[in-house]
Amino acid sequence: MALVHLVGSRGAADVLVCEVPSRAAADLLVCKVDSRNPARGNDGLWCFVDSRAAASSLVHIITSRGAADLLVCYVDSRAASGWRRDHPLKGRL
């Protein structure tokens, strides 16, 4: 499930994410959605939520690719979203 809550510190995060500009460099292509329903069970569709309790993942954005658990590139299309390669976090967001 990709109900994402952004947290301000590394220690509070489940996942450290680095946003990359290139699809080729990304582990996951992410399409931001406004509704929670399409995001449930789909790692490539992220719905940002205000509540930690409602979130399936607590994410902290970092700038270092080497320190990141996950590299993401944002896309405009739901059809283009999804995993680009096998990853340990697949199905865990």
Q: 46 pairs with which residues across the strands?
A: 32
What Å distances lie between residue 91 and 21, 53, 65, CA to CA? 23, 19, 21
% of the chain at pLDDT higher than 70: 98
pLDDT of 39: 67
N-terminal to C-terminal alpha carbon distance within the chain: 5
Q: Is 55 exposed, middle or buried (0-12, 13-18, 19+ CB in 10 A)?
A: buried
Distances (CA, A) of 88 to 34, 54, 63, 70, 82: 26, 23, 20, 9, 14
For residues 51 and 90, give the distance between their C-alpha atoms in angstroms, rounded to a whole number. Answer: 23
Q: What are residue 80's DSSP bridge partners? A: none
Q: What is the mean pLDDT of residues 79-92?
A: 95
pLDDT tens readout for residues 48-61: 999 999 999 999 99
Q: In the predicted model, is pLDDT for residue 21 greater than 90? A: yes
